Structure 1
Amino acid sequence: MQQSMELPLVLFTVLSQAAIGIAFMRAVRQPAEAAGGNARNEWRMVAGLMLVGLIASLFHLGHPTGAPTALKHLENAWLSREALSAGLFVGLAILAALASGKEGKPIFAWGGAVLGAVVILSTGMTYAPPAFPALNNALPTIFFLVSAVMLGSGFASWFASKNHQPLLARIFTSTLVVGLVIHLAAPCIWLSGSEVMRLTAQEWLGSGFYWSHIGIMAASALVIWKTRTIPVWLPVLVLLGELLGRAGFFADTVHTAANMGGVY
């Protein structure tokens, strides 16, 4: 059966991935960041996005005060690993925001990139359960990584030096194209899968969330192809597209209970 939109999880996953993506871009630029960058404000944005995402995620819990118990099963639960790595990441981001100067410190950049990658992997595995055949694979991790790099390169352009703007524009454009291809291909592949996968494909292809997401990515690719730079407003538009797409990810993916008692 279809799931609810899960707004707290939409906000947590998208905002945390934007924060992680900015940290990725910080690491990409760190070895040769020229004067003109603004590491302290960049880390402030990373910490702010991550904190807002974590606070939003608490509203998904029946008892928010019990959130620390998510750490009890690190040996066998990806959710516990996600909680731990996200907490470590936000701690590092806050420390970097307090300790970084204008140019930043490599240890924060590389530490943020490593922890961010662990968060992406843990989140991807958390949302790839057997009960959702269409997502019981590497696709959630790929979707989340694409979101992180796309949003990260977009928002990093607000802080990067002029010398690094072309690099960020290339990363942003390439990730947009990859994201479009993956999101268009996935439902088509599901159509040739099991009954529940076919149902998921039909839900996605008939969803306003899905087509709004596709439309915003396509429009963003057209804008950057015309301008060859990342306009200051474009990352905000892409963020809106990712929020819509993530809402569809949760609302339009079909659970195996939809065909309970049926022939698979």
Structure 2
Amino acid sequence: MRKLIFALALLLPGMALAAGGNVHLDKANYDLSDKASLQRGAKLFMNYCLGCHGQQYQRYQRTFNDLGIPEDLAQENLQFTGEKISDYIERSMPAESAAQWFGAAPPDLTLVARVRGADWIYTYLRSFYVDESRPFGVNNTVFPEVGMPHVLQPLQGTPRMAEEEAMVDGEKVTRHAGIKTDGDGALSTEEYDQAVLDLVNYLEYTGEPFRLESESIGKWVLIFILVLFVFVFMLKKEFWRDVH
């Protein structure tokens, strides 16, 4: 009983993080079978995330082959520091420098989708807003007091917390009314949401590269078990026929 309680105590914080606390999480309708989306997500990760965040359990070669990206094209456009095609996807920033600049080394993102959940990541990357009191000038409604810059701001534009006036208990108050951008980003709101979804799709893939294959095999295993059950049931009836 003590071991069970101890195991639950370890699991509950992680489950709470994955659920996102009390913050509403938007649904991330990702599709692991969409190779184009996965390729766009890989491109976004390599260009905007890899400077700080690595994927130390994922190799370039495996990624490019799974996503249908020719190795010569990938090496030319998605590998920037002379790594070998067989290398793991390591961040460009030295861990010591990262810890000095950010207070702690940015986490590895190979398994982040399995830890946090796709909905959490999708909502988090769309919830930055300008906050001049923070070291990097931004905050996040999903992860308050966030310690990283909004690296996708050139795509989204400058996000600001909108406010509106409302009557509460007969008094006029000012309250938050969501996050809106000023339109100076390279993408529209819809295009940015799709770009974030592509990135989430890619992170879901790296969290479990065999997922589609496992699901496909699993269906055939269930069919085999069902057919085997029929034969076992018939064999059982044959053995017990004289007894009854």
The TM-score with structure 2 as length reference comes to 0.23
Max Rg structure: 2
Higher share in helix: 1
Higher share in strand: 2
